[in-house]
Amino acid sequence: MINKLVENIKKTEAPIVVGLDPMLKYVPEFIQKKAFEEYGETLEGAAEAIWQFNKGIVDATYDLIPAVKPQIAMYEQFGIPGLQAFYKTVQYCKEKGLVVIGDIKRGDIGSTSGAYAVGHLGKVQVGSKSYYGFDEDFVTVNPYLGSDGVRPFMDVCKEEKKGIFVLVKTSNPSSGELQDRLVDGKPLYEHVGAMVDAWGSEVMGDSYSYVGAVVGATYPEMGKALRKIMPKTYILVPGYGAQGGKGKDLVHFFNEDGLGAIVNSSRGIIAAYQQDAYKEKFAEANYADASRAAVIAMKEDIASALN
């Protein structure tokens, strides 16, 4: 799947992933109204609203982008109906040829990580049959429990030719409280980066590993250091746009081949129609067109920074 991700990025010339993180406040009034008319102001109604919202954005952008990253928390908050909308979104994006990165940040002791791996990337055995659960292409993984929390994901990745992105340095303001602490003279995230590089060497695709890393756009200098520590690792870069990261901050996350990083934007794309830059040009009914325009602007911003 890392090979397909690289192919998709080359084809679209856009190292971009759209974060499908549909809070209800981003969903246009007319979509909410229609969903609530059909299902009431219920969890089912909310799930229908975010699904229709997603579908509009995917239909308007899928030809421009290599991948999407649905954040499962935004679905899980609506309970079972929300998770059904997550599942539908994953399947729909795959039908459209997109690589789907499930942003699930799971991670536990070995046997439990194994269950998450099976449920999100692999197949679970039921009697004599086996079934895919959520069936994303990649998922994000939390490394706090060490390698026996990560290896069960790697095992399933090998079998299914799928991948993971391990949290190394996250984009949020307080990420340094643990991740930046000095261990043997180096910040903890560099140690995690070295672990990712070592894990990754065991499961290589054509030019990049099945084991990627998450490094926030909000910390460009750390990105530069981590790029060197993990040369064969694809870096998933959140924090662009609404969280403050800019195109020029991203340069050092990439390798010299112009590959090696994929930049996520969520709010900046999916709620573009609510932003000053797009509000005047796009009516709420055309929210998806605003998302398309925001993808194009992001692609140009990154391309000009890389040139």
- Residues with a catalytic annotation lie at 105
Among 7, 13, 41, 159, binds its own copies (CB under 8 A): 41
- Write phi, then psi, for 261 (nearest 5 degrees): -145, 150
Q: What is the DSSP letter of 119?
A: H
With binding defined as CB under 8 A, does residue 37 bind its own copies?
no
As beta bridge partners, residue 139 has 102, 164
Question: How many residues bind to its own copies according to rule CB under 8 A?
Answer: 74
Among 15, 28, 45, 205, binds its own copies (CB under 8 A): 45
Minimum distance from residue 235 beta carbon to its own copies (Å): 17
Among 52, 175, 209, 291, binds its own copies (CB under 8 A): 175
162's CB contacts (< 8 A; 6+ apart) are 1, 121, 122, 136, 137, 138, 156, 210
Q: What is the DSSP letter of 107?
A: -
Among 76, 159, 284, 300, binds its own copies (CB under 8 A): 76
Q: First vs last Cα of the chain: how many Å apart?
A: 27
With binding defined as CB under 8 A, does residue 116 bind its own copies?
yes
Choices 137-145, 251-259, 277-285, 299-307; region in contact with its own copies by CB under 8 A: 137-145
As beta bridge partners, residue 214 has 167, 236
In the chain, how many H helices and how many E strands?
A: 13, 12
Among 181, 224, 228, 279, binds its own copies (CB under 8 A): 181
With binding defined as CB under 8 A, does residue 185 bind its own copies?
no
154/188 with CB nearer its own copies: 188
143/268 with CB nearer its own copies: 143
Minimum distance from residue 126 beta carbon to its own copies (Å): 4
Of 221, 206, 212, 173, residue with least CA distance to 193: 212
Among 115, 194, 251, 306, binds its own copies (CB under 8 A): 115
* Cα–Cα distance, 207 to 196 (Å, whole number): 16
Residue type, 193: G
Q: Considering only residues 212 through 271, tell me which ones interact with its own copies, judged by CB under 8 A.
A: 238
Minimum distance from residue 240 beta carbon to its own copies (Å): 13
Q: Considering only residues 77 through 96, tell me which ones interact with its own copies, judged by CB under 8 A.
A: 77-80, 82-84, 87
87/251 with CB nearer its own copies: 87
Among 172, 231, 244, 248, binds its own copies (CB under 8 A): 172
With binding defined as CB under 8 A, does residue 113 bind its own copies?
yes
229's CB contacts (< 8 A; 6+ apart) are 190, 193, 194, 197
Minimum distance from residue 271 beta carbon to its own copies (Å): 12
Alpha helix stretches (DSSP H) within the chain: 2-12, 29-39, 43-61, 73-76, 79-95, 110-120, 147-160, 176-179, 188-201, 220-229, 267-270, 276-279, 287-306
42/304 with CB nearer its own copies: 42
Choices 4-12, 117-125, 219-227, 248-256; region in contact with its own copies by CB under 8 A: 117-125
CA angle, 296 then 72 then 301, to 5°: 20
Among 66, 149, 212, 247, binds its own copies (CB under 8 A): 149
